[in-house]
Structure 1
Amino acid sequence: MSERQYHSGMRSCAQELEAPAYALGSVDKTLRVIHILRDGNPIRVSTVARDLGIGVSTAHRIMAMLVFHGFAVQGSKRQYLPGPALGAPVLMAKDVDQLRQAAGPIIEQLAATVGETVNLTLRVGPHARVLLAVGTNGRTEFDRSGAVLPAYATAAGRASLTGVSQEQLEHLFRGPAAERASTELDEEAFAELERELNRTRIRGFAISLESAVKGVSAVALPVASAKTRTITIAVLTPSEAIEDLIHDEARMGAIREAAQLLGERLEVED
């Protein structure tokens, strides 16, 4: 390649990276914060406001949205760290599409039957990823489609963790690997997770009480298949209605049937 061709190619690349003529300011600032988080250094709202030249209230809203979508987590001393969405592995599109196609009709029927929001969730290591959300009725707090959250923080994640060994559980949430994945739990929190998993095994389903989203609680079951225990079905409901859901035998029965049916369907297609 000649020097002229080389520089021509470099100019072409530079043109591709040219800033959009009608860039959305709020999107640009949010993406800049993601770049800052990716470096792994703890940041504060005041730092975001200063570096981006915006008000503290605007910076706070940006950070709250990034936490909601799993791109940031709030640590001690009001500092923010990279969230699980920044380090989540890329899933094979074909596999995800096949899973959604197999589960879609079952999830939609269940949402209509129970009258609540239903999520299809896949656990990848220490993270729970929402692949499909049905019945959200346009409510932002219930639409977690695409979200990546620590598995210990959700009913869906905990339901899928009931089948892992003690050694694997410690690998996921204790030590260097967990620290790098932003899923490390201290001794007290890890002990509480162990107790909650034991309670989940006894009652047959997992419960989360506003542990992921304020005002939203959930019950979740793993699909009934030894090959697919990383896949769960979760039903989300306003927190004030969670007890009614748990004690409603008809709706809980519908959730169990949906998990069983999806497990059987995935076994056949595997």
Structure 2
Amino acid sequence: MGYAFSVEQNLYRVEAVDRAMVLLTLLAERGSLSVTEAATSLGVAPSTAHRLLTTMAGRGFVEQGERKLYRPGPQLLGLRTPQRSIPALVARMRPVLQTLHDEVRETVHLVVLAGPDVQFVYGIEGQQALRIGLRIGSRIPAYCTSGGKAIFAALSADAVDELHPDGLRPWPGRNAGSLAELHAELDRVRWRGYGVNTEESERGVAALGVAVGADAAQPVGAISISLPTARYAPDDEPRLVAPLRAAQAEAVRVLGG
């Protein structure tokens, strides 16, 4: 059943905005929502509900999770960076990622920490025939991603543990099965200076990532280079790490301005 409104309320109602507010209310109540459920609640066609949810996802108010269910996004959850907002961070980092993308010709992403997960907030798809697609809007356990590992490596062990009060959330390709194993991996990330993900976040995907921020001890996110494992070998890392570190240095300048 859809939500009812009085005649007086209807006189001043903007239909699309009103529907978006109803969806936000439903998400707050239920925690997740399918396109079919959204359409039924609004009394509209599934295609209309899908357009609304897609628009809201583009602004970070919702995100699509497992089984194609939509759930509250970082903006709705109150996620903020020291740059005050994700859009502001993206605006500052966009030229940095463009330069990195032009040099490596692989898919690059910007992620931010959202609890124990990373949220993919911006990206540029690679130019290779065989490439990794964009993940903008996706949310994955941080410990399974190169950028998430890089962010965790900049935090204290206690801070990482506080983000996982019930242990690590199971994920199909994960390497670390416990917090102890994760901390061992983070030690290796600190030694290398960057995180590595080889088919942990997704089968067939390899990635290298570094944390970014005006202060190395307080990262506001991470940037990563992703490529198919069919074209990846550990010996290739120096070719990718050099421009990745250059982008990290430029990010420090941009975010500190």
Normalising by structure 2, report the TM-score. Answer: 0.66
Contact 2:209 2:223 (C-alpha < 8 Å) held by counterparts: yes
**Aligned-partner Cα distance in 1 for 2:178–2:207:** 20
Answering whether residue 233 of structure 2 is matched by residue 234 of structure 1, we say no
Equivalent positions of 1:34-73 (< 5 A) are: 39=30, 71-73=64-66
Contact 1:205 1:220 (C-alpha < 8 Å) held by counterparts: yes
Contact 1:85 1:149 (C-alpha < 8 Å) held by counterparts: no
Deviation at 1:155, TM superposition (A): 1.0
Answering whether residue 96 of structure 2 is matched by residue 106 of structure 1, we say yes
Contact 1:37 1:81 (C-alpha < 8 Å) held by counterparts: no
- Higher Cα Rg: structure 1 or 2? 1
Answering whether residue 122 of structure 2 is matched by residue 132 of structure 1, we say yes
Partner residue in 1 for 2:240? 251
**Aligned-partner Cα distance in 2 for 1:72–1:106:** 28
Answering whether residue 161 of structure 2 is matched by residue 170 of structure 1, we say yes
Deviation at 1:123, TM superposition (A): 1.5
Partner residue in 1 for 2:150? 159
Contact 1:106 1:262 (C-alpha < 8 Å) held by counterparts: yes
Equivalent positions of 1:9-88 (< 5 A) are: 9=8, 16=15, 39=30, 71-73=64-66, 85=73, 88=77
**Deviating more after overlay: 80-89 vs 112-121:** 80-89
**Deviating more after overlay: 233-242 vs 220-229:** 220-229
Deviation at 1:139, TM superposition (A): 8.4
Contact 1:218 1:242 (C-alpha < 8 Å) held by counterparts: no
**Aligned-partner Cα distance in 1 for 2:28–2:132:** 23
Deviation at 1:143, TM superposition (A): 0.4
RMSD: 4.5
Deviation at 1:265, TM superposition (A): 1.8
Query: Which amino acid is 1:262 matched to?
Result: A
Unaligned 5+ runs, structure 1: 1-5, 21-31, 42-47, 53-68, 75-79
Query: Which amino acid is 2:250 matched to?
Result: L
Contact 1:121 1:233 (C-alpha < 8 Å) held by counterparts: yes
Partner residue in 1 for 2:189? 200
**Aligned-partner Cα distance in 2 for 1:168–1:249:** 30
Answering whether residue 210 of structure 2 is matched by residue 218 of structure 1, we say no
Deviation at 1:142, TM superposition (A): 1.9
Deviation at 1:40, TM superposition (A): 6.2
Deviation at 1:118, TM superposition (A): 0.9
Answering whether residue 140 of structure 2 is matched by residue 149 of structure 1, we say yes
Query: Which amino acid is 1:8 matched to?
Result: V
**Deviating more after overlay: 96-105 vs 254-263:** 96-105
Answering whether residue 180 of structure 2 is matched by residue 191 of structure 1, we say yes
Percent identity (aligned): 21
Answering whether residue 86 of structure 2 is matched by residue 96 of structure 1, we say yes
Query: Which amino acid is 1:101 matched to?
Result: A
Query: Which amino acid is 2:147 matched to?
Result: A
Deviation at 1:132, TM superposition (A): 1.4
Deviation at 1:9, TM superposition (A): 2.6
Partner residue in 2 for 1:55? none
Query: Which amino acid is 1:9 matched to?
Result: E
Unaligned 5+ runs, structure 2: 41-61
More helix by percentage: 1
CA separation of 1:171 and 1:104: change in aligned 2, threshold 3 A: same
